Amino acid sequence: MSEKEGKSGNADGDSENLKPPQDGNFPSCSRVAVRVPAFWANNVKLYFAQIEANFRIAGIVSEQTKFDTLVAALDPQTLTHVSDLLYTPPTDNPYNALKNRLLSEFEVSQNKKVRALLEDLDLGDRKPSLLLRQMQELSEGLVDDAFLKNLWLNRLPVNIRTILSISSESLSKLAEMADRMHEYNLREVAAVKAIKPEYCTSELKEMELQISELSKQIETLNACFESLNAKKRHSRSRSESRERNNRLCFYHYKFGDRAHKCIKPCSFQNNGIKPSEISVASETLVYGRRLYVQDRITKTQFLVDTGSDVSCYPKSYLNEVLKLQGTTLFAANGSHIKTFGSKLLSLDLGLQRKLQWPFVIADITKPIIGADFLQQFGLLVDLKKRCLLDPITNSKCMGRAGFSDIPNVKTISGNSEYHELLNRYKGITKLNSTFPKAIIHNTLHFIPTSGPPVTRSIEDDILVFSKDKTEHTQHLEQIFKRFVDFGITINESKCEFGKPQVDFLGHTINNEGILPMSTKVKAIQEFPKPETVSQLRSFLGMINFYHRFIPKIAEILAPLNAYLVGSKKRDKTKIKWNPETDASFDKIKKCLADATLLSHPSTDAKLALVTDCSDFAMGGVLNEITPKGPKPLGFFSKKLTPTQAKYSAYDRELLAAYSAIQYFRHMLEARPFALYVDHKPLTYAFKQNSDKCSPRRLRQLDFISQFTTDIRYVPRKENVVADSLSRVCEIQFSSLADLKLWESSQNSDPELKGILEGKIKFSGDLMKVQMPDSEISLYCNVNSESNRFYVPGELRRKIFDNLHNMSHPGIRATKALIASRYCWPNQNKDITNWCRACIPCQKSKVHQYTKAPVSQFLPPDARFSHVHLDLIGPLPISGGFRYCLTMVDRFTRWPETVPLLDAKAETVAIAFMFNWISRFGLPQKVTCDQGGQFESGLFQMLTRMFGIQCVRTAAFHPSSNGMVERMHRP
């Protein structure tokens, strides 16, 4: 039944009070279709006028229905204002109570209306009639028409106000006339601020600017007048006057030391005048006449400066706390300008489009539109006509020309040859850079380079090192071009160019090498003796930062490191110093003061790695062999663990060589070098029988052989010839180390011939590679990071047996182990088959993860002896029911469903007992899921009392109860 039916029986009454029919047949009521708009907090009265019109159209007269409809239309923020009425609604007239509350909460007060009427209203882009209508709504009939007319006319343009002020027509007629005049005056009408009878801030600002301009012009005229008087007083010839002008400017000639300005060129030199003042004065006279434009939205005056690299916005214009940023700008006089981030501004300059651009927040006095803004939007400056031209929209923005002493804002400061180069690539130094072409890469952290390395990038810093100034300029130009191509910008205030020595990441870098910074070393030397374990840990952390400059540092710090054993993170335990720890503390300070200069590595010099190991520490030094002798490139030192300290001398020396190569791996890769040890038996490591090697030795020798097999004894410096191809395989068998065998096998391999002729598919790129220290060339796959040897058919199983039998890894690990060194067609398939056929692997393989077979329900032997239960819901409400209990007999497949009001355990137990047990008897078994209703104590007590076995299905596995779950499918 709709509430519209109330019109026929009881038009004036409430639809809820209609008497029901006597026969008991109640007609159904679905709902009343009403379009309710969203709540308008800014105009509550107008909102209620519209919603009540909708109520009348729908025939809604019930207070409760209106109340519910209004609540449904309110947003969450508005509901918080009337939450008390929602929780406890009044019994009488709830809609009117809610309406009055919203009116009192959101209706604009009379004081605000008067303030808006007198101050805040502008014409803007509206018609004059709309402005008048809004003013009449704010006045609410409390202001007479004469005063309202005066206020309305003051907000109209001058030409319209002049015509309408002498008319005696009514306000409605005047509004129509103003609309027609406004249509013919659209290009001149702007958002005119309401002019107050006593004062106007916009006109006062304009008058102040004009007065300041006039005062500057008067000052200039006075200076010219004094110059003429000076010429008349001093009877000098024209040549003497010209000679005087070539030496001194007017201000210094006239006032001497007391001059506050200077005009270049001027030969006057005095410390009394600040260079910045002289430079700014010069810039003012040369670039004094500037163009100012106004933003129509904020009424802010912007200085258009084509000489400024970036657009800036004054910090003083923002009422918020800003943090100082690392970027620094420069004035034309060379002084620094602090920056405080950026702010995205949307300017309306009357060019028929909005101009959005990020302005740099800086410590300046006036907003500046710089060259970056003009370039981005293609704007042209016409100083003669005092306007900005927009070729895109064919519009112009009229401004005003005036004198300004604000210097240009630059992103580059300096006049060296490197800064001249930087000026040619200004785009990389601008804060809002716009590059002429699209970025050619799709990543932000990698730029491919080729040729000899000239740069080193660490996080966001770039080091460029060159032999001389000419090469340095060439390198910088290459880097700047890359920056432009890849869209990278730099902060010029943090850059240093052409420096013979730089401090970087706590180190001093020069042309000879690298050393710890003297200031850091001094701070460590002055560090007091630690009193607690926590202080000692801080001291050792500072020392370890420069560990590569100190030989055998682990051995020196061993007594101090002993205090850290078993200590906590912030241990305040007092340290008991003894002569040994005192000597260690003093020695490490002395060693740091005498830190070794580490040379820069050369790409073509020979390398030598010297390692040594004592009873409790191991160390090494990487030297570069030069005509002047060996130069250290770095030191390595590490304390042995208690387990490693128990190794034999041979194993400790091997461990030192293995660890040193790991440490200097980035410098030793793809470089030939000799490994010097002071343990002679180690020189025969690659010649001994494999039976004498433990698995740990084999792993370490395998890693060492990937870099070098040239191990020499330090005293005698004996050379041991080793083949780089053999790696650790030379220990296992000598046949694979025979290069001639590899060459003959590859030449006679029919599969290799088919690959080279293109008859057999192969994913790699095979090329002949010259073997080191040999005239033999072998086919290798050069597509991978390291060259992998092509294995002919007769050697493949030998390669597999020797690598797989070392530790019998799994199929995946064996594939990775062999693929890192060798390649052949169908390699993964062969390795898989051989691993599965490996007898030792099959014997030792442990099957931990066995899957149990899927169990099945035994079919019952009688009907209603096994019942499946399940609960479904919540569902759409029907007759007050939201849930259903489904019951299925497993023997007969007889289903029954009982509707439930809720899903409580008590409700489910009662429904099962009165709808199934009472009709079909007690079942022997019940299958259900692990729902809360079936796991409750009530349901468990029910099954125990009736002697029913309860079978639970697996969690999150509905297929276990498939008989009843299948009925729930849509």
The residue from 143, 167, 186 where one domain ends is 186
Q: 232 pLDDT exceeds 70? A: no
What pLDDT is stored for residue 112 in this prediction?
A: 66
Flag whether pLDDT at 817 surpasses 50: yes
Name the more confident of 819 and 134: 819
Q: What CATH number does the domain containing 748 carry?
A: 1.10.340.70
Please identify, among 478, 498, 518, the residue that sits at the C-terminal boundary of a domain: 498
Which of 276-285, 388-397, 411-420, 578-587 is predicted with the least confidence, judged by mean pLDDT? Answer: 276-285
Residue 24 within a domain: no
* CA distances for 554 relative to 23, 171, 195, 615, angstroms: 104, 96, 83, 12
pLDDT higher than 70, residue 756: yes
Q: Are residues 510 and 542 in the same domain?
A: yes
419-441 mean pLDDT: 62
750 & 830 share domain? yes
Grade residue 833 by pLDDT with cuts at 50, 70 and 90: very high
Share of the chain above pLDDT 70, in %: 72
Q: Report phi then psi at 349, rounded to 5.
A: -100, 15
- What CATH number should be reported for the domain holding residue 402? 2.40.70.10
Residues 405 and 426 reside in one and the same domain: no
Average pLDDT in the 116-126 region? 66
Contact yes or no for 678/713 (Cβ under 8 A)? yes
- Per-residue pLDDT tens over the stretch 59-81: 888 888 888 888 888 887 788 77
CB proximity list for 798: less than 8 A, separation 6 or greater: 733, 735, 736
- What is the number of domains present in the chain? 8
Quote the CA–CA distance of 480 and 622 in Å, as a whole number.
35
Three-class SS state of 754: helix
Residues 6+ apart with CB under 8 A from 412: 309, 330, 419, 422, 423, 426, 429, 492
pLDDT tens, position by position, 345-392 = 889 888 888 888 889 888 888 899 988 888 888 898 888 888 989 888
Q: Characterize the bridge pairing of strands 336-347 and 777-781.
A: unpaired
Q: Retrieve residue 319's tokens.
A: 């009422």
Can you give the pLDDT at residue 246?
47
pLDDT confidence tier of residue 273, bands split at 50, 70 and 90: very low
Phi, psi values for residue 285, rounded to 5°: -75, -35
Query: Distance between CA atoms of 494 and 513, rounded to whole angstroms?
Result: 23
Kindly state the helix (H) or strand (E) to which residue 949 belongs, with its residue range: strand 949-952
User: Is residue 166 one of the residues assigned to a domain?
Assistant: yes
Report whether pLDDT(899) > 90. Answer: yes
Q: Please write the tens of the pLDDT for every residue from 848-896.
A: 556 667 777 778 888 999 999 999 888 999 888 999 999 999 999 999 9
Whether 132 and 100 map to the same domain: the answer is no
Task: State the SS3 of 376-427.
Answer: HHCCEEECCCCEEEECCCCEEEECEEEECCCCCEECCCCCCHHHHHHHCCHH
pLDDT at 155 over 70: yes
* Structure confidence at residue 33 (pLDDT): 62
Q: Is 0.85 topped by the overall pTM? A: no
pLDDT reading at 269 higher than 90: no
Residues 573 and 608 in one domain: no
Tokens describing residue 894: 């007889």
pLDDT value, residue 896: 92
Predicted pLDDT at 906: 92
Overall average pLDDT of the 674-684 stretch = 86
Q: Is the pLDDT of residue 729 over 60?
A: no
* pLDDT for 722: 26
- What pLDDT score does 887 carry? 93
Question: Hey, CA dihedral for 737, 738, 743, 749, is it positive or negative?
Answer: negative
SS3 call for 160: helix
Residue 225 within any structural domain of the chain: no
Domain coverage including residue 482: 421-430+464-498
Nearest to 41 by CA among 11, 74, 8: 74
Which of 835 and 955 is assigned the larger pLDDT?
835
User: How confident is the model at residue 298, as a pLDDT?
Assistant: 87
Mean pLDDT of 410-428: 68
- List pLDDT tens digits, range 296-320: 888 888 999 888 888 899 988 887 7
Single out the residue in 683, 714, 745 at which a domain terminates. 714
**Can you give the pLDDT at residue 702?**
87
Same domain, 300 and 398: yes
Range scoring the smallest mean pLDDT among 118-122, 614-618, 926-930: 118-122
Q: Same structural domain for residues 948 and 874?
A: yes
The whole-number pLDDT of residue 221 equals: 74
By mean pLDDT, which of 35-39, 43-47, 851-855 is the weakest?
851-855
Name the token pair of 863. 């009907």
Look at 374-388, 470-484, 501-515 and tell me which has the smallest mean pLDDT.
501-515
Does 876 fall in a domain?
Answer: yes
Inside any domain, residue 306: yes
Spatial CB neighbours of 820, under 8 Å, sequence gap ≥ 6: 786, 788
Residue 425 and residue 512 in one domain: no
Tell whether 614 and 672 lie within a shared domain.
Answer: yes
Residue 2 lies in a domain: no
**Per-residue pLDDT at 732 exceeds 50:** no
Q: Calculate the average pLDDT of the chain.
A: 75
pLDDT band of residue 481 (cuts 50, 70, 90) is confident
Mean pLDDT of 784-803: 86
| 485 and 507 in a common domain | no
Across the beta sheet with 788-790, the strand order is 766-770, 777-781, 788-790, 822-823
Cβ-based neighbour number of residue 861 at 10 Å: 9
Stretch 889-918: mean pLDDT: 91
Task: Residue 717: count other Cβ atoms within 10 Å of its Cβ.
Answer: 9
How far apart CA 815 and CA 828 sit, in angstroms, is 6
Q: Is 763 helix (H, G, I), strand (E, B) or coil?
A: coil
Regarding whether 568 and 618 lie in a shared domain, the answer is no
Percentage with pLDDT > 90 across the chain: 8
- The answer to whether residue 724 sits within a structural domain is no
- Over residues 764-778, the pLDDT tens digits come to 888 888 777 677 888
| CATH assignment at residue 553 | 3.30.70.270
Mean pLDDT of 665-693: 83
Q: What is the pLDDT of residue 534?
A: 82
Instruction: Give me the mean pLDDT over the 670-698 stretch.
Output: 83
Looking at per-residue pLDDT, the higher value among 514 and 628 belongs to 514
Residue 239 pLDDT level (bands cut at 50, 70, 90): very low
What is the rounded average pLDDT of the residues 627-651?
Answer: 82
pLDDT at position 618: 86
Q: State yes or no: pLDDT of 822 exceeds 80.
A: yes
- Report pLDDT digits (tens) over 540-564: 877 776 666 677 777 788 888 888 7
For 197-215, the pLDDT digits (tens) are 444 455 676 777 778 777 7
In a domain, 227, yes or no: no
Mean pLDDT across 476-491:
78
Mean pLDDT on 157-182:
75
pLDDT confidence tier of residue 258, bands split at 50, 70 and 90? low
Q: Are residues 99 and 120 in the same domain?
A: no
